[in-house]
Amino acid sequence: GPSTGGAQRQDRSGNGSLGEYRDQGGSSGGVAVASGRTLHGFIKKPPPPARCFVLEGEDSSRCHANVYFFGVSKCGTTSLAHWMARHPALSWVSNVWHTRHKQGGEAHVMEMSTIKDNESTYALTAPMAAQTDTVIDYTPHYSILAEVPYRIRDMYGKTSYDGTVKYIAVLREPVARTISSWQFKYDLEGIEKGEAANPSSERRSLEEAFSEGREHALSLVKCLSDKENDQRNQIRHPGALKLYIDLQMCNPHAFLEHNMYFSHVGKSIYSLQLERWLDLFGRENVKVLFLEEMAVDPMGTITSVFDFLGVDLLDEKEGVKFRIALHG
Ligand SMILES: Nc1ncnc2c1ncn2[C@@H]1O[C@H](COP(=O)(O)OS(=O)(=O)O)[C@@H](OP(=O)(O)O)[C@H]1O
């Protein structure tokens, strides 16, 4: 395939399932296409595995998520997750490192390259549930990981877009989000103590973070539009073209900040992230909320979320409890 230099991608051999996609930092300035890959690999997929299953030695079934609460961090996701976690009918996917059931905890399951290598651990992240139960994978970081929605589509097949699986995102005025993200990660203590910088230590000033973040984000936007223009006439399947450009040619891991944890600006460019989810799963299956609305009307927000999920609000007595819990 065409090479634009700066290859940091691992070749993906095998059946083309995105489960084998490796999360990598990569370098900015172009990503080479893995050699020997054909688009056929993206189109012909193995049948999706069952969402609910019974593990050997267990009596009741476990189910993987049918709701993905996928972002965006620093937009009030913790508050919404806590409110939702008060509803007894919702089950939550566990984190792959500590597969203990936790209402409202972050899952980080679909971002792991270990899903396919480590299926037994992955199975344990699924809570005990029945097919008709609502099971949530709450991971705000998914929004910035381009491969995640493709992977969900790969693993769930038709049920990822036929209304079986639902998706939730909270957004916020983007500049406020960017500042919130920088502030949360800025390592003033490390600087003051003269400590060595580490992967979770943001040492750039707000100004530097804004200007570098802007540069990275714009280079991604440019890559996506340049490649789309270059490739438009060469490929017959528009869906595959999009995926090919998105992951193979303009992989955000390479084009955004080298450590995505610090993509304060990139993560605030919601259209880039949301487009994938809306295209793949359909607008009607994605609930988009705004922190500014959540802040003034928490009860209205949570009611609309439960309505979207098809979960009954609690009875009158429980409803009062719920109201108290929200404000208390
Ligand atoms: N109810 C309500 N009203 C107004 N603002 C609220 C509310 N809940 C959360 N927040 C603000 O949301 C920011 C935290 O977002 P997240 O929970 O998504 O952050 S995190 O990614 O999980 O760390 C954080 O923003 P900043 O204070 O600007 O950093 C919170 O103050």
Are the C-beta atoms of residues 116 and 159 closer than 8 Å to each other? no
The CATH number of residue 243's host domain is 3.40.50.300
Does the residue 101 lie in any domain?
Answer: yes
The token duo for 274 is: 């949301």
Does the residue 156 lie in any domain?
Answer: yes
310 CA to centre of ligand 1 in angstroms: 26
CA separation for the pair 102, 99 (Å, rounded) = 9
- The reply to whether ligand 1 has any atom less than 6 angstroms from the CB of 71 is no
Block means of pLDDT (10 residues each) for the chain, 328 residues, are 33 33 33 35 66 94 97 96 90 82 85 67 91 96 93 92 97 98 92 88 94 95 91 72 88 89 94 94 98 94 94 63 53
- Would you say the ipTM is above 0.90? yes
Does the residue 44 lie in any domain?
Answer: no
Does the residue 33 lie in any domain?
Answer: no
176 Cα nearest atom in ligand 1 = 28
CA separation for the pair 34, 165 (Å, rounded) = 31
82 CA to centre of ligand 1 in angstroms: 12
Are the C-beta atoms of residues 266 and 290 closer than 8 Å to each other? no
Does the residue 221 lie in any domain?
Answer: yes
Cα 165 versus chain centre, distance: 14
- How many C-beta atoms lie closer than 10 Å to residue 258's C-beta? 16
Range of the domain at 63: 49-327
Residue nearest to atom 26 of ligand 1 (CA): 180
pLDDT at 45: 61
93 CA to centre of ligand 1 in angstroms: 22
Report how far apart, in Å, the C-alpha atoms of 56 and of each of 60, 61, 123, 125 are: 10, 10, 11, 15
- The reply to whether ligand 1 has any atom less than 6 angstroms from the CB of 79 is yes
Partners of 317 in the beta sheet? none
264 CA to centre of ligand 1 in angstroms: 15
Does the residue 299 lie in any domain?
Answer: yes
Are the C-beta atoms of residues 148 and 110 closer than 8 Å to each other? yes
- φ and ψ of 212, to 5 deg: -70, -40
Number of domains into which the chain is organized: 1
Residue nearest to atom 4 of ligand 1 (CA): 295
- The reply to whether ligand 1 has any atom less than 6 angstroms from the CB of 76 is yes
179 Cα nearest atom in ligand 1 = 28
326 CA to centre of ligand 1 in angstroms: 15
- The reply to whether ligand 1 has any atom less than 6 angstroms from the CB of 96 is no
Residue nearest to atom 30 of ligand 1 (CA): 76
CA separation for the pair 145, 264 (Å, rounded) = 14
79 CA to centre of ligand 1 in angstroms: 7
- The reply to whether ligand 1 has any atom less than 6 angstroms from the CB of 181 is no
Which uninterrupted H or E stretch holds 85?
helix 77-85
- The reply to whether ligand 1 has any atom less than 6 angstroms from the CB of 77 is yes
H runs (alpha helix) in 164-309: 174-185, 188-193, 206-231, 238-243, 252-255, 270-281, 291-296, 298-309
Long-range own/partner contacts, residues 157-165 (CB < 8 A, 24 or more apart): 157/45, 157/47, 157/48, 159/48, 159/51, 160/280, 160/281, 161/280, 161/281, 161/282, 161/285, 163/284, 163/285, 164/66, 165/65, 165/66, 165/67, 165/68, 165/281, 165/285
180, 260, 327: residue to mutate for ligand 1 pocket, most atoms within 8 A of CB: 180
Decide the pairing of beta strands 52-53 and 62-63. Answer: antiparallel
80 CA to centre of ligand 1 in angstroms: 10
Does the residue 245 lie in any domain?
Answer: yes
- The reply to whether ligand 1 has any atom less than 6 angstroms from the CB of 73 is yes
Does the residue 38 lie in any domain?
Answer: no
